[in-house]
Amino acid sequence: MRFLLQRVAFYLFTAWAAITLNFFIPRMIPGDPVQSLISRNQGRISADAIESLRVLFGLDENESVWEQYVDYWKQLLQGDLGLSFTFFPAPVSTVIGDSLPWTVGLVGITTIVSFLLGTALGVGAGWRRGSWVDALLPATTFLSSIPYFWLGLVAIAVFAGPGSFFPSSGGYEPGLVPAFDQYFIPSAIQHSLLPAATILVSSMSGWILSMRNMMVTVSSEDYITVAHAKGLSERRVALSYAARNALLPNVSGFALSLGFIVGGTLLVEIVFSYPGLGYQLFQAVGSKDYPLMQGIFLIITISVLVANLLADVAYLLLDPRTRKS
């Protein structure tokens, strides 16, 4: 328990540092958002409007940096991440709130499926070396070594196209209104199949490989020989003795990969024009939408930290040796 509290304190500190950096970095970038907004509107903004925009973006020249920093925190704690330029005057929190479910739905589910499937195959491959699962490895490794954007483009070129079942872009049929009904849900699933398949293909081999190698390592441990000598069933030895121990590094890897669900899928969403957070970030960078970028970075930071905490908790639960009595 004390260990956990220590970890939580550590992550809170990290979060504070990350948020502080998030505050300073955009202020160090040459040019400010108001400037770019002015140039976008080609000078048709009055001096008063400029002044109020500055206040709006937290860049009030009458305030010191420290006051700005305090204001930033106040707003943040109220869930206010500022206004987006690209979707002006929509607040950043609304933009993120709209795109986050897409990313979590697509990448979250595929990450979990990829982990479960890859780990299960890895257990099989490591336990029976030289079986058909083992022969699968070079193929999956080859697939995972293909640059993702290329794999996505090939998938689109081969599987999507006029008249194909798989749509080449978007998250749902244009014209449908996002809602949980019989029109929208099937369409959303249909749109997610191809990107999900490409993510699976490129990410699964990592799980297979690491699980297989851990299985091989664990299989030569003394307690595996003891388990065999005890006359336990092959299944029990493989799962409860070998896989149970081999799983530990994979689980922490999995928890960490959960943190990258939000941020690590830029390419998928760009290639498939998927309305998720990565695509939003891509557009924000393109249009110098600093508040949106800041907001997305914040979400990514927090999700990585939460994933780390999850990894710690998972390890505590799975490995009694890390528990301090």
Partner 1 sequence: MTQTVLEITGLNVDYGVGDQAVRAVRDVDLTLRRGEVLGLAGESGSGKSTLAYGITRLLPPPGVIRSGSVRYHPVDGDPVDVMALTPAELRRFRWAETSIVFQGAMNSLNPVHRISTQLLDVIKAHEPDMSAPARLARARELLKLVGISADRMDSYPHQLSGGMRQRVMIGMALALEPQIVIMDEPTTALDVVMQRQILGQLAELRERLGFAVLFITHDLSLLVEFSDRIAIMYGGRIVEEAPAAQLYRAALHPYTEGLLHSFPALRGPRRALTGIPGSPPDLRAMPPGCAFHPRCPRAFTPCDNELPVLGAPADDHPGRSVACWLHRSLESR
Residues 228 to 247: which contact partner 1 by CB under 8 A? 228-234, 236, 240-241, 244-245
Per-residue burial over 121-150, b if 16 or more Cβ lie within 10 Å, else e, is bbbbbbbeeeeebbeebeebeebbeeebee
Nearer to partner 1, 156 or 215 (CB): 215
Residues that bind partner 1 (rule: CB under 8 A) add up to a total of 25
Binding status of residue 313 toward partner 1 by CB under 8 A: no
Nearer to partner 1, 94 or 240 (CB): 240
Binding status of residue 134 toward partner 1 by CB under 8 A: no
Nearer to partner 1, 15 or 318 (CB): 318
Residues 51 to 70: which contact partner 1 by CB under 8 A? none
Smallest distance, partner 1 to C-beta of residue 112, A: 23
Nearer to partner 1, 141 or 233 (CB): 233
Structure tokens at 300: 């990514």
Residues contacting residue 119 through CB under 8 Å, at least 6 positions apart: 207, 208, 211, 247, 250
What mask of x and - would describe binding to partner 1 in positions 204 to 233, judged by CB under 8 A? ----------------xxxx-xxxxxxxxx
Smallest distance, partner 1 to C-beta of residue 256, A: 21
Nearer to partner 1, 2 or 44 (CB): 2
Is residue 248 within 8 A of residue 318, CB to CB? The reply is yes
Structure tokens at 124: 């099989």
Smallest distance, partner 1 to C-beta of residue 230, A: 4
Structure tokens at 272: 């498939």
* Strand, helix or coil for residue 214: helix
Please report, to the nearest 10 degrees, the dihedral formed by the alpha carbons of residues 21, 24, 30, 34 taken in order. Answer: 120
Smallest distance, partner 1 to C-beta of residue 212, A: 17
Nearer to partner 1, 35 or 217 (CB): 217
Give the DSSP per-residue string, 274-324.
--SHHHHHHHHHHTT-HHHHHHHHHHHHHHHHHHHHHHHHHHHHH-GGG--
Residues contacting residue 230 through CB under 8 Å, at least 6 positions apart: none
Binding status of residue 20 toward partner 1 by CB under 8 A: no
Binding status of residue 320 toward partner 1 by CB under 8 A: yes
Residue ranges that bind partner 1, judged by CB under 8 A: 220-223, 225-234, 236, 240-241, 244-245, 248, 318-321, 325
